[in-house]
Amino acid sequence: MTSPTLDTQTIRIIAGEDAHLARNYSPLPVVIARGEGVWVTDVEGKRYLDLLSAYSALNFGHLHPAIVAAATEQLGRLTLTSRAFHNDRLGAFASALADLCKKDLVLPMNTGAEAVETGIKVARAWAYRVKGVKTDAANIVVAHGNFHGRTTTIVGFSDDESARDGFGPFAPGFRSVPFGDAAAIDAAIDENTAAVLIEPIQGEAGVILPPKGYLQAVRDICTDRGVLFIADEIQSGLGRVGETFACDRDGVVPDVYLLGKALGGGIMPLSAVVANSDILGVIKPGEHGSTFGGNPLAAAVGERVVEMLATGEFQDRSRALGEHLSERLEALVGDGVTAVRVAGLWAGIDIDPARGTGREIAERLVHRGVLVKDTHGQTIRIAPPLVIRGTEIDWAIEQLKLVLEAE
């Protein structure tokens, strides 16, 4: 499972990306041609264990047969209508997702960033029309280290320089406070605050878990101060952390869920904002939309995904295997690993700088047939498909041990 190291340019040529593809990513040196379950195969036929799952968009693995069947059946009937007309799939998807979230309205979009943008618009409209905030005065409290997507409004309230630098001017109306500090949220709220928008666990930041009691405190503060609690569960939700939502780990119910990634079953982009009608009902016809949002193909896929989550089977797997993963990773602390943070089948692993950077470890793992992603220098992130087996986790950890020992 080892191959000679190819330089970035050679890999770009093999992938056919050297001529015309913009360089907004620096992919790891592997060119994937096929996928099935937790495994992918490169153009030369070598197999790799996919421990990234497209940042949790592949929670059910590559080409899950039940999701492929739903998509294939729908591909033969109807793919796109636009919302200018009704289609016969969207209502059933919305009902199923509302049930899963125990809310009563669903607004479908495509990408995660669009769900976040929609959540911001809903919160502002709610502030003006329900709470009575003066026109254009609304603010939203966010957390340091956040990742909510790549649009200009969203990167404007990021504190990651590489996401922001060169892309201003940015939209006003956001206040950022330290993640995990509920008192700081309370202090940032004023009479014009529409919402608190946070990831219950910060994924891109390196799988950062807030201190115990934080989410409950945020819930209580939002209730007391008359502010919406918007949980960006785009990466943390839909089974990743051993529950349907990361908020469930603390028994907390936000006012608004932002969902994406795994909702599209690893097949297509599908996102949604889910809330009760006293909030989401503020949006009237003509005020917001998307050409592809709620298309029948996405709805068929999304309904199947929700059906699969409704059994609880994937959440149970994630919880049980997450404990297994956690034990294996904890055993590495002090031996090439300085810290691990695990929630279900989701882990941030801080690499001892003496053993290499996160990127170097990720590159060495590629050569051992394991795909992970580095973040913020010294951290690698893993988020295997929830269909992974315990033995596959053990094998991956063995490979990690080996690359930590290598120079």
Ligand X SMILES: *Cc1c(COP(=O)(O)O)cnc(C)c1O
Q: Which residues bind ligand X (CB under 6 A)?
A: 55, 111-113, 116, 147-149, 199, 203-204, 232, 234-235, 260-261
User: Token digits for 31?
Assistant: 């060119």
Which residue, 113 or 343, is less far from ligand X as judged by CB?
Answer: 113
Residue nearest to ligand X (CB): 112
Q: How many helices (H) and strands (E) does the chain have?
A: 14, 15
- H-type alpha helices, 132-247: 152-156, 161-164, 182-188, 214-225
Closest approach, Cβ 204 to ligand X, in A, equals: 6
- The residues that bridge with 32 in the sheet, in sequence order, are 42
DSSP state of 51: S
Catalytic residue among 60, 93, 147, 157: 147
Q: What angle do CA 350, 354, 359 make, to 5 degrees?
A: 55
Query: Distance between CA 219 and CA 197 in Å, rounded?
Result: 11
Closest approach, Cβ 383 to ligand X, in A, equals: 10
- The residues that bridge with 106 in the sheet, in sequence order, are 274
User: Token digits for 194?
Assistant: 């529409």
Closest approach, Cβ 155 to ligand X, in A, equals: 11
Which residue, 42 or 50, is less far from ligand X as judged by CB?
Answer: 50
- Residue 235 phi, psi dihedral angles, 5° rounding: -105, -35
Which residue, 139 or 375, is less far from ligand X as judged by CB?
Answer: 375
Catalytic residue among 42, 50, 186, 232: 232
Helices 313-330 and 296-310: crossing angle, nearest 10°?
Answer: 70
Burial 155-193 (b: 16+ CB within 10 A, else e): bbbbeeeeeeeeeeeeeebbbbbebbbbebbbebbeeeb
Closest approach, Cβ 104 to ligand X, in A, equals: 23
Nearest to 79 by CA among 294, 304, 259, 307: 294
Nearest to 3 by CA among 41, 39, 30: 30
Query: Distance between CA 264 and CA 294 in Å, rounded?
Result: 11
134 part of the active site = no
- The residues that bridge with 176 in the sheet, in sequence order, are 142
Which residue, 260 or 358, is less far from ligand X as judged by CB?
Answer: 260
Which residue, 116 or 349, is less far from ligand X as judged by CB?
Answer: 116
Which residue, 112 or 242, is less far from ligand X as judged by CB?
Answer: 112
232 part of the active site = yes
Catalytic residue among 50, 60, 250, 261: 261
261 part of the active site = yes
Enumerate the active-site residues.
147, 232, 261
